[in-house]
Amino acid sequence: MTNRAYNFNAGPAALPLEVLQKAQEQLVEYQGIGMSIMEISHRSSQYEQLNEETQSLLKELYAIPDGYKVMFLQGGGSTQFAMVPMNLLSAGKKAYFVQTGAWSNKAIKEAKLFGETAIAASSEGEKYSRIPDLSQLQLGDDAAYLHITTNETIEGTEFTELPDTGNVPLVGDMSSDILSRPLDVSKFGLIYAGAQKNLGPSGVTVVIARDELIQDSPKHLATMLRYDTHAKANSLYNTPPVYSVYMVNLVLKWIKEHGGVAVMEKRNKEKTSLIYSAIDNSGGFYRGIVQPEYRSLMNITFRMESEELEKKFVKESEQNGFVGLKGHRDVGGLRASTYNAVPFEACQALAAFMTDFQKRNG
Catalytically active residues, by annotation: 103, 173, 197
99/112 Cα distance (integer angstroms): 14
Contact segment (CB under 6 A) with ligand PMP among 55-63, 66-74, 75-83, 311-319 equals: 75-83
Are 11 and 176 a contacting pair, CB within 8 Å?
yes
- Asked if 54 touches ligand PMP (CB under 6 A), the answer is no
Binding mask 162-201 for ligand PMP (x = CB under 6 A): -----------x-xx-----------------x-------
Contact segment (CB under 6 A) with ligand PMP among 71-79, 138-146, 227-235, 301-309 equals: 71-79
* 238 marked as binding residue: yes
Q: Give 100 or 165: the residue with its C-beta nearer to ligand PMP.
A: 100
Q: How does DSSP classify residue 326?
A: B
Point out the residue whose Cβ comes nearest to ligand PMP: 76
Closest C-alpha among 100, 294, 71 to residue 193: 71
Contact segment (CB under 6 A) with ligand PMP among 55-63, 76-84, 331-339, 354-362 equals: 76-84
Q: Which of 7, 51, 149, 338 binds ligand PMP (CB under 6 A)?
A: 149
Q: Which of 100, 153, 198, 317 binds ligand PMP (CB under 6 A)?
A: 153
Number of chain positions touching ligand PMP (CB under 6 A): 11
- Asked if 159 touches ligand PMP (CB under 6 A), the answer is no
Q: Give the three-class secondary structure for 337.
A: strand
Q: Give 103 or 294: the residue with its C-beta nearer to ligand PMP.
A: 103
Binding mask 99-138 for ligand PMP (x = CB under 6 A): ----x-----------------------------------
196/9 Cα distance (integer angstroms): 11
**Least distance between ligand PMP and beta carbon 70 (Å):** 17
213/332 Cα distance (integer angstroms): 39
- Asked if 317 touches ligand PMP (CB under 6 A), the answer is no
**Least distance between ligand PMP and beta carbon 91 (Å):** 27
Are 179 and 340 a contacting pair, CB within 8 Å?
yes
For residue 33, give the amino acid letter: I
Q: Give 157 or 282: the residue with its C-beta nearer to ligand PMP.
A: 157
Q: Give 173 or 310: the residue with its C-beta nearer to ligand PMP.
A: 173
323/329 Cα distance (integer angstroms): 16
| Footprint on this chain of ligand PMP (rule: CB under 6 A) | 11, 76-78, 103, 149, 153, 173, 175-176, 194
